[in-house]
Amino acid sequence: MAEVLEDGDIYFLYRPRVGEEHVGSLAEVQRLLVVLCPWRGRRRLRLLVVGRKHLPEISEHARYWAFVESVVDRPEQLYEALRPSRYVTKTRGERLQQAPRPLAEGAYCVTRHDDHTHLAYQLELPRRPGPPQRELDIEPEASYIVTVKNPAAPSPPGVGLPGRGRARLPADLQERFHTRRFAPVDPPRFLDHPGVELVLIGAAHDASAELGIDLDAEVERAARDTIFEELRIGRADRPVAPEITARWR
């Protein structure tokens, strides 16, 4: 039986590649983003970036890198970080970076399981996943072993964030590594620091059975007002927040 250390709402978004107005496959996706919004304690939203543009495959126990890009207190602050932006290049002139698009939402738990930690979730929307969710490996329910990298430890060449981008952790969190390069995400306060680097390892499709937790109950407790409505993603282009669909857009 796993111990739940934190639970809350989870949201998945994908950002189209620069210059792509309509996305039709993973090839036209620039980034997979995950927002974690804990239910207890101080209101905060954590924006995570997942490497390789999709989640690790469960069946292969794949191991992917991710990092915390930002942590904010209000949806408006996150909206500012995600809104469309224009910039100018010498060779291609003005370029438009599209805003991320809603992909899925549900409830999540960070759990302590034996000597490691898991990030587990279950989707509430879309009801029936389609091509976008399948190509980005967003399962209806899944569990991943999650560890945090020691920001003081070196990384292999070409891997991870540059030195200036790495987190500067409080002393009590840094001490939890001792001399190790990785540690469990215990406590989940590790995730409250931009620049924290993570490793996600595909563990199980049936997270509830594997960890002995009731994800159905977690989804029932999930916030009724979606964060996508609070963020008003796409509001500049349409009168209402875009719905979560099982189709590429």
Per-residue pLDDT tens digits for 40-97? 887 899 999 998 999 999 988 889 999 999 999 988 888 888 888 776 666 767 777 7
The Cα–Cα gap between 228 and 105 comes to 9
Residue whose pair of structure tokens reads 């049936």 in the numeric block: 206
pLDDT in the model for residue 46: 96
Smallest Cα–Cα separation from 148: which of 181, 121, 114, 111?
Answer: 181
Q: Which helix (H) or strand (E) holds 209?
A: helix 207-211
Q: Which helix (H) or strand (E) holds 71?
A: strand 63-72
What is the model's pTM? 0.90
pLDDT in the model for residue 245: 80
- 15 with 2: CB under 8 angstroms? no
Cross-strand partners of 12: 34, 104
Number of Cβ atoms within 10 Å of the Cβ of 51: 18
pLDDT in the model for residue 224: 55
Of 104-118, 121-135, 210-224, 233-247, least confident by mean pLDDT is 233-247
Please name the residues in contact with 204: beta carbons below 8 A apart, sequence gap of 6 or more: 58, 142, 143, 210
The Cα–Cα gap between 177 and 27 comes to 37
Between these two residues, 97 and 247, which has the higher pLDDT value?
Answer: 247
The Cα–Cα gap between 28 and 17 comes to 6
Note the pLDDT tens digit of each residue in 119-144.
Answer: 999 999 998 999 999 999 999 999 99
Confidence category of residue 227, pLDDT binned at 50, 70, 90: low
Note the pLDDT tens digit of each residue in 144-168.
Answer: 999 999 999 988 777 778 877 889 9
Residue 234 has pLDDT above 80, yes or no: no
Cross-strand partners of 76: none
